[in-house]
Amino acid sequence: QVQLVESGGGLVQAGGSLRLSCAASGRTFSSYGMGWFRQAPGKEREFVAAISGSGSSTYWAGSVKGRFTISRDNAKNTVYLQMNSLKPEDTAVYYCAARTGNSYYYTSSYDYWGQGTQVTVSS
């Protein structure tokens, strides 16, 4: 069982930056690949980025590659999403999740989810 709590969302102007954090409970955090997803109003939840348990491998959605950075600190049971050059289309609720399935890209591979944190980018 893993419990996840996101923080760091807020309102930012286009071109600005935010860093999201996701704190996890449990002593087996490093055994989970972790992902960030987002959901805008009226849209389905979509993959943003993911990182392997060791942190050696990362995965990206094309829309954020080069602007966002995912990292993790297994000693602190925390995964981060650094978001730079934000655009209004990045506005969404951002969720972190712990992967239990085979794929990093699909919501169905993640069994544990946080409550989400709102990111709003104004133009």
- Rounded Cα–Cα distance for residues 123 and 121 (Å): 7
Cα of first residue to Cα of last residue in the chain, in angstroms, is 40
List pLDDT tens digits, range 33-87.
Answer: 999 999 999 999 999 999 999 999 999 999 999 999 999 999 999 999 999 999 9
Percent residues over pLDDT 70 in the chain: 100
What is the predicted pLDDT for the residue at 1? 83
List, as own/partner pairs, every contact residues 31-34 make where C-beta atoms lie below 8 angstroms and the sequence separation is at least 24, other chains included: 32/2, 32/98, 32/99, 32/100, 32/112, 33/98, 33/99, 33/104, 34/70, 34/72, 34/79, 34/96, 34/97, 34/98, 34/99
Q: How long is the chain? A: 123
